[in-house]
Structure 1
Amino acid sequence: MEKLNFRFPATKMLDSKAHVGVVGSGDLEILMEPSDQGYADVTVRTGTTGFHQLWETVLERFFSKNDISAIIRINDFGATPGVVSLRLSQALEVGRDAGYIKK
């Protein structure tokens, strides 16, 4: 099991918790919690080791477009970069649909 930590600057606050996905073969779970720290604090727990740079690239791409201040926990079970991007976007959409993102 590998644990990766990342931090990205943010200007928008997540107002409520969000949860998407499941920990299962080829998928991942994303848990988001509000934070007023001015950055996204991301922890990735994965059984697939050696992919720090790939995770960083996928997350940088997401946060360059979506600068939310939140504590984000990702529990990975071998998801591809496409699935990671999809789940991150899905979590953000769920939050926006529920009115969770402060503008």
Structure 2
Amino acid sequence: MDTLLFLRPARAVPLNRTLVGYVGSGDLEVMIDRTDGHQAEIHIRTSTQGSEARWQQLIERMEVDHPLPAMRMDIHDFAATPGVIRLRIEQALELALDNRGNTHD
């Protein structure tokens, strides 16, 4: 298991706590929580050894389409494909940024 940490510039916006996926399902779990400040902390625990460059590229590509909110994002990856990773992260961000007042604890 590798543990990775990426710190990225972010914008302060209202944010809901969010959980998508299920680590026991054999692919990917993404949790988002509020933080103070102006950075996104992305903590990744992955079963894929030596995947730091792949994760960094994926995060950088996502930032082009989706500016990151100030948050702590925890990702538990058990060899999910890049398509599944991006889908789960986008799903989590959509729920976290839902401004209808819903919380997903």
Q: Same fold (TM over 0.5)?
A: yes
Whether the aligned pair in 1 keeps the contact of 2:17 and 2:34 (CA below 8 Å) is: yes
SS at structure 2 position matched to 1:68: coil
The Cα of 1:99 is off from its aligned counterpart by 3.3
Letter in 1 for 2:21: G
The Cα of 1:14 is off from its aligned counterpart by 4.5
Whether the aligned pair in 2 keeps the contact of 1:62 and 1:88 (CA below 8 Å) is: no
**Partner in structure 2 of residue 42 of structure 1:** 42
Identical counterparts, % of pairs: 35
Alignment CA distance shift 1:30-1:38 (3 Å)? same
1:22-74 residue CA offsets vs partner (Å, 9 max, x unmatched): 1132x100000001220100110011111110000111122332221100100
**Partner in structure 2 of residue 32 of structure 1:** 32
**Partner in structure 2 of residue 73 of structure 1:** 74
**Partner in structure 1 of residue 60 of structure 2:** 60
The Cα of 1:11 is off from its aligned counterpart by 1.2
1:74-102 residue CA offsets vs partner (Å, 9 max, x unmatched): 001111111111011101122233536xx
Q: Distance in 2 between matches of 1:76 and 1:36?
A: 26
Letter in 2 for 1:86: L
Whether the aligned pair in 1 keeps the contact of 2:12 and 2:37 (CA below 8 Å) is: no
RMSD of aligned residue pairs (Cα, Å) = 1.6
Structure 1: segments with no counterpart, 5+ residues: none
The Cα of 1:12 is off from its aligned counterpart by 3.3
Which protein has the bigger strand share?
1
Letter in 2 for 1:22: Y
SS at structure 1 position matched to 2:57: helix
Structure 2: segments with no counterpart, 5+ residues: none
SS at structure 1 position matched to 2:70: strand
Q: Point out the more displaced range, 89-98 or 39-48.
A: 89-98
Aligned length: 99
SS at structure 2 position matched to 1:59: helix
Letter in 1 for 2:28: L
TM-score using structure 2 length:
0.85
